[in-house]
């Protein structure tokens, strides 16, 4: 029987499902003075299941990632301790700067933000305009940690 951290870790299938159902990610980059720069963004998953997002090319995040591509990301859910679930990812950011690729990435993010609703011509107009100002980011994971405290109630002596 698994104990400790192993008992609450998400399986690969649970992890993929969790990331697919959430929409916001907290992203930390390394600021110019070495301190973390933390922001929250809407994200989408690429075909490999990696977290992707887009942001303005002039943003502090992108400035930081151009200097130092190390990134940490956190996707979490839950209110009470025994409801907490999350995934923490440490890795490297790959910048996407080609217009057509940025537009595809942005379309994925916008589709998630709209709950899957097709925004039609208006959505295309927004994408066309925004893709000229934005940079896409793909988080290439190096270390992934996950937890689901709901599993604690199933352990002997818990809940």
Segment 11-53, tens digit of pLDDT: 999 999 999 999 999 999 999 999 999 999 999 999 999 999 9
| pLDDT computed for residue 153 by the predictor | 72
| Among candidate residues 21, 17, 69, the one with its CA nearest the CA of residue 43 | 21
The SS3 assignment for 65 reads helix
Structural domain of 30: 5-149
pTM of the model: 0.88
In-domain check, residue 124: yes
Is the distance from CB of 42 to CB of 62 less than 8 angstroms?
no
In-domain check, residue 116: yes
In-domain check, residue 31: yes
Distance CA 57, CA 101 (A): 14
**Is 50 exceeded by the pLDDT of residue 1?**
no
Q: How many domains does the chain have?
A: 1
CATH code: domain of residue 107: 2.30.110.10
Per-residue CA distances from 110 to 27, 100, 145 (Å): 18, 15, 27
In-domain check, residue 157: no
Q: pLDDT tier at 113 (50, 70, 90 boundaries)?
A: confident
């Amino acid at each position: 029987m698994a104990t400790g951290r192993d008992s609450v870790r998400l399986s690969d299938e649970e992890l993929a499902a969790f990331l697919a159902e959430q929409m916001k990610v907290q992203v930390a980059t390394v600021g110019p003075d070495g301190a973390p720069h933390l922001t929250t963004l809407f994200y989408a998953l690429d075909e490999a299941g990696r977290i992707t997002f887009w942001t303005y090319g002039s943003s502090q995040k992108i400035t930081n990632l151009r200097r130092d591509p190390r990134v940490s990301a956190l996707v979490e859910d839950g209110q009470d301790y025994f409801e907490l679930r999350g995934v923490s990812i440490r890795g490297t950011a790959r910048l996407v700067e080609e217009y057509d690729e940025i537009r595809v990435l942005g379309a994925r993010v916008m589709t998630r933000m709209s709950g899957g609703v097709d925004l039609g011509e208006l959505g295309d107009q927004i994408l066309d305009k925004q893709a000229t100002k934005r940079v896409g980011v793909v988080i290439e994971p190096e270390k992934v940690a996950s937890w689901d405290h709901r599993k604690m109630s199933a352990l002997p002596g818990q809940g």
